[in-house]
Amino acid sequence: MDILKPPIVTIGGRCYRRNPSQMTSPHISRSIGEEQGGYTEGDDEIYDEEMYDAEMTDTVSCDPLEMEKTKDGFRLTMDVPSKFFGYIIGVKGETKKRIEQETKTHIHVPRARDHIDEITISGKTRQGVSSAKTRIDVLVATARQKTPFTHFVAIPLNSQEIMDRFNIFSEEVLKECKHCSGVDEKIFQIPSRLHLTIVTLVLMTKQEVKAAQEILNDCLENIINPLLEGRPLLLDMVGLEYMNDDPGKVDVLYGKVRMQDGTDRLQEIANRIQDRFVSSELCQDSRSDLGVKLHATLMNSIFKAPEVKDQRSEARGRGQQQRNREAFDASEILEMYGDFSFGELRVDSLHLAERRHYAEDGSYWPAAKVALP
């Protein structure tokens, strides 16, 4: 970690610096990152401590916490997904003990098998309870960053015209470029799943899914509608581009998406929606200075790699999947089809899609969607 630029976590409108504890071990990221099943009785031997001292780095005001006054002091119940309990407990319970000792509080963490997504903090002083909550918030934010995303906000690009044109593209590529290294029918996207991703989310409970739905509705009212001013969102998908810097060794080949009128409204809408979700703390903050990369994945070498279906080992499996992927040679594809037109699209909805959950037509299942003008 660069001590001059420590990791920053934004929680409730405030920024906190994460200071890693000295009590870590070489296998910390493996044991915590791989375990996705929540805390169980045997997890004291699985989870390593990843405790961060949370220090405020700004002075943004926030609303007072709603604490219950008790005869012994104060009590606060906070929503925490049970699958993140292991981060708060730590190896042999050391993380939880440390927070309790340093804040002079008691933290009650239910067993994950009870499916109770709440943690209760009690203490003699309001300040102590508030401090414990802040530390738990930082740990939860860290856990969310390490967890594979479960949902994503997307613009579906699976109109009949675009799917038909994509099928023509894939057939021609397989006919003319099948001799190119790594080019295989398995690396093509399923036509009904063509989409434009705006932001990826980690939603671990029904309450978090509901919160994301409410944010999506808010984005429609306060971002999309004001920018469109009643006009339809009309897009073109024309041309090819690739992610890395060597056309002979490509992992992802994508179609370029743009506004038909040549404006940058689509980029602005995507950037502002991403910012709105990042401020909600439900997503993994992958923002760049250039904003959301507007792309529709057409070919991806990872589609050919074996899919990991065991949730408890997904983090490890995703890493193995990345190592096993075989880049493909897109040089001839770019030369022959670099300006290929996939058609036009009038966007009629924005989806909160659920990863690995598909509709009957093979498209991503929308946990929620909002209609556009």
pLDDT at 314 over 70: no
Q: What share of the chain is helix, strand, coil (3-state, %, to 5)?
A: 40, 25, 35
Residue 293 counted as domain residue: yes
Residues 142 and 155 occupy one common structural domain: no
| Closest to 233 in 3D by CA, of 222, 215, 220 | 220
> Please, are residues 274 and 198 in contact by the beta-carbon 8 Å criterion?
yes
How far is CA 125 from each of CA 52, 145, 164, rounded to the nearest angstrom? 22, 31, 65
Q: What is the pLDDT of residues 177-221, one digit of tens each?
A: 999 999 999 999 999 999 999 999 999 999 999 999 999 999 999
Indicate which CATH number applies to the domain containing 69. 3.30.1370.10
Which residue do the tokens 């530390």 mark?
A: 135
Residue 138, helix vs strand vs coil? helix
Residues 303 and 206 occupy one common structural domain: yes
Burial 157-188 (b: 16+ CB within 10 A, else e): bbbeebbebbeebbeebeeebeebebbeeebb
**91, 124, 146 — which closes off a domain?**
146
Burial 33-46 (b: 16+ CB within 10 A, else e): bbbbbbbeeebeee
The whole-angstrom separation of Cα 277 and Cα 203 is 12
Task: Print the domain residue range for 52.
Answer: 8-146
| Closest to 35 in 3D by CA, of 109, 74, 95, 90 | 90
> Please, are residues 251 and 301 in contact by the beta-carbon 8 Å criterion?
yes
Q: What is the pLDDT of residues 245-304, one digit of tens each?
A: 899 999 999 999 999 999 999 999 999 999 999 988 888 777 777 789 999 999 999 998
pLDDT at 340 over 50: yes
Residue 3 counted as domain residue: no
Residues 252 and 336 occupy one common structural domain: yes
pLDDT at 120 over 80: yes
Residues 330 and 363 occupy one common structural domain: yes
With a CB cutoff of 8 Å and minimum separation 6, the contacts of 207 are 79, 117
Residue 2 counted as domain residue: no
With a CB cutoff of 8 Å and minimum separation 6, the contacts of 373 are 225, 228, 230, 231, 232, 233
**121, 146, 171 — which closes off a domain?**
146
Percent of the chain exceeding pLDDT 90 equals: 66
State residue 50's pLDDT score.
38
Residue 132 counted as domain residue: yes
> Please, are residues 251 and 365 in contact by the beta-carbon 8 Å criterion?
no
Which residue do the tokens 């000295």 mark?
A: 22
| DSSP label at residue 277 | H
Residue 315 counted as domain residue: yes
**146, 168, 183 — which closes off a domain?**
146
Indicate which CATH number applies to the domain containing 365. 3.90.1140.10
- What is the rounded average pLDDT of the residues 60-65? 49
Residues 116 and 163 occupy one common structural domain: no
Residues 367 and 224 occupy one common structural domain: yes
> Please, are residues 351 and 197 in contact by the beta-carbon 8 Å criterion?
no
Residues 129 and 155 occupy one common structural domain: no
HSE of 106 in the Cβ direction (CA atoms, 13 Å)? 9
Domain tally, the chain: 2
| DSSP label at residue 133 | H
